[in-house]
Amino acid sequence: MAGGALVVHGLPGPFHAVVDEAGDLLDACDFRACAARCEAALPWVEALGDRSTAGYLRYVGALALVELVELDRAGELLEELLGAPAGQDPLWRAKALALAAEIAFTRGRPARGVEHLAEALGLLESTGSRHVNRLSATMASGLALQAAGVHPEAEVLLRRVLADVPGTPGVSELNVLPELVLLVAERAAGAQLRGEPAEADHQWGRVLELSLRWRRRGVLEGEASQVLRSSAAEALAWQRLGDHAAASAAGAAVGSGLLGAARSGALLGRVEGVMARLHLAGEAHHRGHAAAARTHLDEALAETRRTEPGVWAYTVLAALAELDAEERRSLHGEDARPDRWKELAQALLVRTAASSRAIASELEARRRAARAADAHDAAALAVLTDPLTGVTNRRGLDEALRAAARDGTEVAACFVDVDRFKAVNDGFSHEVGDEVLRRVATLLVDVTRGHDLVARYGGDEFVVLSGHPRDLAALGQRVVDEVAALPWAQVAPGLRVSVSVGVTGPLAAHAVLASADAAMLDAKRRGRARAVVRRAS
């Protein structure tokens, strides 16, 4: 893995040695050699007509160039890949589109990024394979969303990949956990900059939990570099939560410690290098060593130019501003007032967040438009579609059940009910309630991946109907978890939403809804915000 990319080795084609060598160089983080190997091999691979290997080399070469921050050339390789003749594997196309979107967002071209990412997400939605290529494409899309600053939606995709790791041969949690930790850490740092201490503490707690899991997995698999990187995240999380003893212990737990790692360049070019220096600066400041703290922060600021500026650069600027303010107080007795550098960092963060919300809205609009465009009969679709949420309505659900009954097909069902929905309407507004229903419906469509029928049963109730063999119990729990993880505070401050889910089947079509409804009511009785499975007799 490099830069969060899951790369499939051993593609079809006669040039297995070239494919394996390029993949191995990428895995070893020898990005310069990887890019050179890919570009040197491309002309003669293409001359011999091996399109699959040529596509692989372009994708892996682009990944390596992104790590080297050579985005122009990376973009050229991806454009060549995307412009190849028709017949591409849709998941490979989705991966290339997502990486192209990440580059576009990083270079400040959001319109191009949205165009690429919308197509990538559409391909993911319409493809049902659980192959590693699907995980890779999902991961790439999550990282593109992260580059756009659309953090909650990015986290949903990365957690989906993490959940699928155990059932996918050749994939480790170490392919996902580092990116998930860095994503949640960005959310934590952003909340801290915005002056939201409760939200920041919540997110730093999640960083701590994930980084400990990351470190344990690194130890288990004998990956010293992963242990070092996870320790940087762990140490900063402990520090931001106010436990300096635990932070120092985490920072000293590996080799020569984070200070030695920073000095040796072991974390050079990684966000974890910025996090390590922020931790070291915080420890120095805690001990009253302002000069050492400033040195670490200056190094951190320089490091952000090699990694990802964004929230980490703003965080370092804010910390430097606090040091400046303290120095003025000690020398001149001035009032403790935030420096203008800190105000600038906060203003830039607000502007970035507004841009991210606009990107998220545009992506959702494009995805809804694409779903509508795929319908063969728009008039028939309108009759069977719920106008508020865009999913199938009760009539469409009834027709699907009648068709299953005619065919003698057994089906399984998830019955989803929004908990205390009346309180949402009464306490916030009916407009907020409508948005809750829309977001729950969108999430259900996302997690079912186009396999199953998602219908609004009525009011605050939805049904997922499946004729495909799958683990619906796991699906039910995922719906519960991902609804809870959605950024409801963006809809209305203080809003929290949960769902109760009943799962049953496969059963005869005439009996499945009653059974799923009974399981959902059981989930309500057990305290809500959970999934209950009613086994088919």
What is the length of the chain? Answer: 537
Say how far apart CA 421 and CA 437 lie, in whole Å: 9
Note down pLDDT in tens along the chain; length 537 residues: 344 455 444 444 456 777 888 888 887 778 899 999 999 888 888 887 777 788 889 999 998 898 887 888 998 898 888 886 555 678 888 889 999 998 888 877 888 888 888 888 888 877 765 567 788 888 888 888 888 888 888 898 899 888 888 877 777 898 899 999 999 999 999 888 888 899 999 999 999 999 999 999 999 999 888 888 899 999 999 999 999 899 888 888 654 566 666 666 667 667 888 898 999 999 999 988 989 999 999 988 888 877 666 788 888 888 888 888 787 777 666 554 555 555 555 555 555 555 666 666 666 666 666 655 554 444 455 567 888 998 889 988 998 898 888 888 889 999 999 999 999 999 999 999 999 999 999 899 888 765 688 999 989 999 999 877 567 778 899 999 999 999 999 899 999 999 999 999 889 999 999 999 999 999 999 999 999 998 765
pTM of this prediction?
Answer: 0.62
pLDDT of residue 168: 74
Domain boundaries, given as residue ranges, for the chain: 394-534
Say how far apart CA 508 and CA 127 lie, in whole Å: 27
Which of 179, 35, 13 lies closest to 23, judged by CA?
A: 35
Class of domain 394-534: alpha beta
- What residues pair up with 463 in beta bridges, in sequence order? 415, 455
DSSP H/E element including 100: helix 90-106
Check whether the bond before 14 is cis (ω within 30° of 0): no
Which of 401, 418, 417, 394 lies closest to 506, judged by CA?
A: 401
Residue 504, sorted as left (phi over 0), alpha (psi -120 to 50) or beta, turns out to be: beta
Say how far apart CA 427 and CA 421 lie, in whole Å: 10
pLDDT of residue 196: 86
pLDDT of residue 12: 44
